[in-house]
Amino acid sequence: MTMQTLAREVAGIASGRPARTYLMCPPTHFAVDYSINAWMDPGAPVDRDRAMAEWERLRATYVELGHTVHLLDPIESLPDMVFAANGATVVGGMVMGARFRHPERAHEADAHREWFQHHGYRRFTPATHVNEGEGDYVYAYRAIVAGHGFRTDPQAHNELHDAFGLPVISVQLVDPRFYHLDTALLVIDAFTAAYYPGAFDEDGLLKLKTLFPELIEATERDARAFGLNAVSDGRHVVIPHDAVDLSEKLTERGHEVVPVEMTELRKAGGGPKCCTLELRP
Ligand code: ARG
């Protein structure tokens, strides 16, 4: 075992459970009918069958890695509902509800709330301020990094702290292409994260450097390929196949990179992580 693999093992243990539980929503009604971020072009064609095939592969990948996937029923009038990460934040079996910035997505929050109510989650904190769930709230084991600037209201960060009792580290997003924190920051394990520096202001960069002993810099090419919108279980990193620079750096450091193709869902401004809400027990 090399030092690097040993370090990975230790970090994996510190990251807790090897098997994870995720909530996903099939892209049955996926479309780009409106534009609420820099990637969405309602005039460009979207192949829903392909979106479904890519999503199915993502789900199968999680199952093959030993994880459990629960499903949320898709609703016809909500084409972005496939991005399940935005509907809530779940830590320690407790749930903080979302409140979407755009009316087009508002009802997704209700669907999530109902799902949690019917699945035995008794501690559900409804949101007063706009927060787009784990799109902007990135769980980092000892803290939650909370983005603002495009979607989540910075005032929501207080209620996030009250909901889970974890320190909340607020960072401002400055590049409209990376409008949710989970498009610019990827937490890999308790000590390691990858990030795209251009998405943050000076203050945010300092905070990230303080929080993560190991911080991997992603290139703009990685960020545009939604490489930071990857899902780590502490050992494997499920990442868009064309985030090549970051995948190489992760492999060099001893992480197991699992590439997936997400070309259709990207047209709505999302990648694997956007489709995946982790249900932390
Ligand atoms: N079209 C969606 C939106 O703009 C994409 C959401 C992506 N989700 C994420 N977790 N970054 O709201």
Delimit the domains of the chain by residue range: 2-278
Only one residue has tokens 């990442």, namely 239
d(CA 271, CA 83): 9
Residue 83 in contact with ligand 1 by CB distance below 6 A: yes
Task: Name the residue with the closest Cα to ligand 1, atom 1.
Answer: 268
Q: What is the pLDDT of residue 1?
A: 39
Residue 180 in contact with ligand 1 by CB distance below 6 A: yes
Nearest ligand 1 atom, CA 180: 11
Q: Is-contact 64 55, C-beta < 8 A?
A: no
Q: What is the pLDDT of residue 17?
A: 57
Residue 152 in contact with ligand 1 by CB distance below 6 A: no
Classify domain 2-278 at the CATH topology level.
L-arginine/glycine Amidinotransferase; Chain A (3.75.10)
d(CA 95, CA 149): 23
> Would you say how long the chain is, in residues?
281
pTM higher than 0.75:
yes
Only one residue has tokens 């960060």, namely 157
d(CA 200, CA 149): 10
Nearest ligand 1 atom, CA 273: 10
Q: Which two tokens stand for residue 171?
A: 């960072």
Q: Are strands 214-217 and 192-195 parallel, antiparallel or unpaired?
A: parallel
232: number of Cβ within 10 Å: 23
Residue 27 in contact with ligand 1 by CB distance below 6 A: no
From first to last of its 281 residues, the chain has per-residue pLDDT tens of 355 545 545 555 555 557 999 999 999 999 999 999 999 999 999 999 999 999 999 999 999 999 999 999 999 999 999 999 999 999 999 999 999 999 999 999 999 999 999 999 999 999 999 999 999 999 999 999 999 999 999 999 999 999 999 999 999 999 999 999 999 999 999 999 999 999 999 999 999 999 999 999 999 999 999 999 999 999 999 999 999 999 999 999 999 999 999 999 999 999 999 999 999 99
DSSP secondary-structure letter at 218? P
Neighbouring residues of 31: CB distance < 8 A, sequence distance ≥ 6 = 46, 48, 79
d(CA 281, CA 279): 6
HSE-CB for 68 with a 13 A CA cutoff: 8
> How far apart are the CA of 37 and the centre of ligand 1, in A?
8
> How far apart are the CA of 203 and the centre of ligand 1, in A?
25
Residue 269 in contact with ligand 1 by CB distance below 6 A: yes
Q: What is the pLDDT of residue 4?
A: 56
Neighbouring residues of 16: CB distance < 8 A, sequence distance ≥ 6 = 141, 234
- Is the backbone of residue 68 left (phi > 0), alpha (psi -120 to 50) or beta? beta
d(CA 157, CA 173): 14
> How far apart are the CA of 5 and the centre of ligand 1, in A?
34
Nearest ligand 1 atom, CA 85: 10
> How far apart are the CA of 244 and the centre of ligand 1, in A?
22
Neighbouring residues of 49: CB distance < 8 A, sequence distance ≥ 6 = none
Point out the residues that are catalytic.
Answer: 180, 274
152, containing H or E segment: none
d(CA 227, CA 183): 8
Q: Are strands 231-232 and 236-240 parallel, antiparallel or unpaired?
A: antiparallel
| DSSP strands (E only) in the chain | 21-24, 68-71, 88-91, 94-97, 124-125, 137-139, 144-148, 168-172, 185-187, 192-195, 214-217, 231-232, 236-240, 256-260, 277-278
Neighbouring residues of 56: CB distance < 8 A, sequence distance ≥ 6 = 26
Residue 136 in contact with ligand 1 by CB distance below 6 A: no
Nearest ligand 1 atom, CA 36: 4
Q: What is the pLDDT of residue 7?
A: 54
Residue 37 in contact with ligand 1 by CB distance below 6 A: yes
> How far apart are the CA of 271 and the centre of ligand 1, in A?
9
SS3 string, 28-80, reads CCCCCCCCCCCCCCCCCCCCHHHHHHHHHHHHHHHHHCCCEEEECCCCCCCCC
Residue 268 in contact with ligand 1 by CB distance below 6 A: yes
d(CA 12, CA 67): 15
> How far apart are the CA of 257 and the centre of ligand 1, in A?
23
Nearest ligand 1 atom, CA 133: 10
